[in-house]
């Protein structure tokens, strides 16, 4: 399947050029795969020696206890890159599930190896994405270990907002939000009851609203920042791993 020009996200200050643009220059005939919402693409401990580049949609990485309790470790958004496995470590550390309809490219080792300058640039962009993943994972773990329900949920909503804002997928504080309350609880380590009560409180206080069943509007960013202990300007730099001159 031939790549389409409209798959490249709107320009933002996160990538210049975008990882998608760079990859499609290097591999113009790359196969684009798709998955419907709810499909499990990879199970934990499956054989995997590849990476993933997400073109459209949301994808979750999760771990599961023997009793069935699930923790979402990270969520991929459009334009994100993630290691699923590697040639010398061909085992998936997490299960990979589509939270919405998604389109993606599986990057095999041969797709990014080689001495050419464009290949080297591609690997640099991939490495930067790994740093960004580590940055947001560390922020989430801090709140999982030390934060209450309001702190964790406010952080999660702001993380998605900042990442989507950087690629032009927000309108004010409004953006598409395909996660159910159960999935949001799995991401923040909270029960459905805690998620429901906290989101209702946020709504009553005017912090958030639900314009449609698949959209959320963050109406009071300052209050959400206060709940999560975030300075939004500093947080943008940290979560996107960039330096302010």
Average pLDDT over residues 58-85: 93
What is the bridge-based pairing of β-strands 59-64 and 95-98? antiparallel
Return the CATH architecture of domain 131-239. Orthogonal Bundle (1.10)
pLDDT at 240: 84
Which two structure tokens, joined as six digits, stand for 16? 């210049």
Measured at the alpha carbon of residue 7, what is the angle toward residues 11 and 139, in degrees to the nearest 5? 60
CB crowding 174-186: b at 16 or more within 10 Å, else e:
bbbbbbeeebbbb
Which two structure tokens, joined as six digits, stand for 191? 């029960």
- All structural domains of the chain with their residue ranges: 5-130, 131-239
The pTM for the full model equals 0.88
pLDDT at 243: 54
Tally of CB atoms within 10 A around 206: 10
Return the CATH architecture of domain 5-130. Sandwich (2.60)
Largest CA distance in the chain: 57
Distance CA 163, CA 50 (A): 24
Task: Give the contacts of 197 (CB within 8 A, at least 6 positions apart).
Answer: 149
pLDDT tens per residue across span 149-168: 999 999 999 999 999 999 99
Average pLDDT over residues 132-145: 88
Which two structure tokens, joined as six digits, stand for 59? 């994808």
Confidence of residue 17 (pLDDT cuts 50, 70, 90): low
pLDDT at 178: 97
């Amino acid at each position: 399947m031939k790549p389409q020009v409209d798959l490249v996200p709107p320009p933002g200050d996160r990538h210049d050029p975008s990882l998608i643009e760079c990859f499609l220059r290097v591999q113009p005939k790359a196969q684009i795969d798709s998955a419907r919402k709810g499909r499990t693409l990879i199970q934990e401990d499956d054989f995997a020696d590849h990476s993933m580049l997400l073109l459209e949609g949301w994808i979750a990485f999760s771990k599961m206890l023997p009793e069935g309790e699930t923790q979402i470790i990270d969520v991929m958004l459009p334009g994100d890159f993630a290691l699923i496995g590697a040639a010398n470590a061909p085992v998936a550390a997490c299960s990979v599930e589509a939270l919405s309809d998604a389109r993606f490219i599986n990057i095999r080792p041969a797709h990014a190896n080689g001495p050419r300058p464009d290949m080297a640039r591609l690997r640099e962009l991939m490495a930067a994405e790994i740093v960004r993943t580590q940055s947001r994972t560390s922020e989430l773990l801090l709140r999982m270990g030390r934060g209450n329900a309001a702190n964790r949920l406010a952080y999660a909503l702001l993380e998605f907002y900042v990442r989507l804002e950087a690629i032009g997928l927000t309108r004010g504080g409004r953006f598409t939000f395909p996660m159910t309350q159960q999935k949001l609880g799995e991401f923040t380590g909270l029960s459905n009851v805690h998620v429901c009560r906290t989101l209702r409180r946020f709504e009553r206080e005017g912090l958030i609203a639900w314009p449609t069943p698949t959209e959320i509007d963050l109406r009071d960013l300052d209050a959400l920042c206060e709940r999560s202990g975030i300075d939004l300007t500093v947080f943008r730099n940290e979560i996107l791993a960039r330096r302010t001159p």
